[in-house]
């Protein structure tokens, strides 16, 4: 394999930094430039925070750019000096004029088996939909939204306890490993790109806070999947007996919730808070009151002994 491929990398959150770390540790290719989004205010103090990719790039003293908009991306035309731009959860659309600058174009690491779950939130939407598998796709980027030719894919099962966090971590590691395989194949000219079937495409729209509001009129299985899909962000939430709370972990009981109405608290004990859905009982195991830490249902019951009476 040649060691002369010159790479640029564009990414922002933890998923992208995990992949970049794998690329750095491989010590095979030259990372000429890193793009990440501008520092953003976060937390109660609204202080500016660096992205995970920026922290990593600074730690390894990699050349770093933080364009404020797509129009400012590669303003100095530096990508004409690299072979490939690798994009992973960058959070900014790459203009078509920029996609054409690297000698071998731009490739994207996407956390689904394209064409399923094109778009912003493939991990959460896969869990929410009840998919039993997902994976990593590395594709050649074009002007569309995750529509480019598939270079390589790898499957990853989704177990019935998977949260967005646990699946994210698995896919991040897998993405880094698959990227190295893809670069090896690109470098040696062995890849045979595959066109996506647009008829099979589904879209993973961006997560909004209101998506995480629990609708107790849904089936218990759908509620349980939503709780896992929105953990660790934005976290499922509801009001039970007029107490607002975030729900971190639930279980579906194989019991009918008749004659109770959806959203009605049936029982609260050390075992959990049992709530009626459209069909079966949903037992809440972990929850969080506003401004408080996450607690078990047993701890909540100790502090609210009359909650279900």
- The answer to whether residue 2 scores a pLDDT higher than 50 is no
Q: pLDDT per residue over 71-122, tens digit each?
A: 899 999 999 999 999 999 999 999 999 999 999 999 999 999 999 999 999 9
Given this model, what pLDDT does residue 3 score? Answer: 53
* Least confident span in 124-133, 184-193, 211-220: 184-193
For the chain, strand residue ranges (E) read: 6-11, 30-35, 40-42, 47-49, 64-65, 84-88, 106-110, 118-119, 133-140, 150-157, 203-204, 236-240, 243-256, 265-269, 272-276, 280-288, 294-296
Over range 22-44, report the average pLDDT: 92
Domain spans of the chain, in order of start: 6-204, 209-303
- The answer to whether residue 281 scores a pLDDT higher than 60 is yes
- The answer to whether residue 42 scores a pLDDT higher than 80 is no
Give the CATH class of 6-204.
Answer: alpha beta
Domain 209-303: assigned CATH number = 3.10.25.10
> What would you measure as the largest C-alpha separation in the chain, in angstroms?
71
Q: Does 82 or 47 have the greater pLDDT score?
A: 82
Given this model, what pLDDT does residue 1 score? Answer: 42
Q: pLDDT per residue over 208-260, tens digit each?
A: 999 999 999 999 999 999 999 999 999 999 999 999 999 999 999 999 999 99
Residue 144, CA distances (Å) to 94, 149, 163, 198 in order: 10, 11, 29, 11
């Amino acid at each position: 394999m040649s060691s002369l491929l010159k790479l640029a990398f564009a990414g922002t959150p933890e998923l992208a930094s995990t992949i970049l770390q794998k690329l750095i540790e491989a010590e095979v290719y030259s990372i000429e430039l890193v793009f990440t989004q501008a520092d953003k205010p976060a937390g109660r103090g609204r202080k500016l925070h660096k992205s995970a990719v920026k922290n990593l790039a600074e730690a390894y003293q990699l050349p770093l750019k933080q364009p404020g908009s797509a129009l400012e991306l590669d303003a100095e035309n530096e990508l004409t000096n690299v072979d490939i731009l690798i994009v992973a959860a960058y959070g900014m659309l790459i203009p078509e004029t920029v996609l054409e600058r690297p000698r071998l174009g731009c490739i994207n690491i996407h956390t689904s088996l394209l064409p399923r779950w094109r778009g912003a939130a493939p991990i959460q939407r896969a869990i929410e939909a009840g998919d039993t598998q997902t994976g990593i796709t590395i594709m050649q980027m074009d002007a569309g939204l995750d529509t480019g030719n598939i270079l390589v894919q790898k499957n990853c099962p989704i177990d019935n306890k998977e949260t967005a966090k646990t699946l994210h971590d698995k896919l991040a590691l897998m993405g880094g490993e698959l990227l190295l395989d893809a670069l090896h194949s690109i470098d040696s000219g062995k890849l045979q790109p595959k066109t996506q079937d647009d008829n099979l495409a589904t879209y993973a729209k961006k997560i909004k806070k209101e998506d995480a509001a629990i609708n107790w009129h849904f089936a218990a299985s759908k509620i349980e999947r939503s709780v896992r899909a929105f953990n660790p962000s934005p976290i499922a939430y509801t009001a039970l007996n007029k107490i607002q709370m975030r729900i971190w972990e639930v279980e579906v009981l194989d019991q009918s919730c008749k004659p109770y109405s959806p959203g009605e608290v049936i029982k609260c004990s050390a075992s959990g808070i049992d709530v009626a859905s459209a069909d079966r009982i949903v037992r809440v195991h972990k929850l969080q009151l506003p401004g408080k830490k996450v607690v078990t249902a047993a701890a909540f019951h100790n502090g609210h002994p009359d909650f279900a009476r």
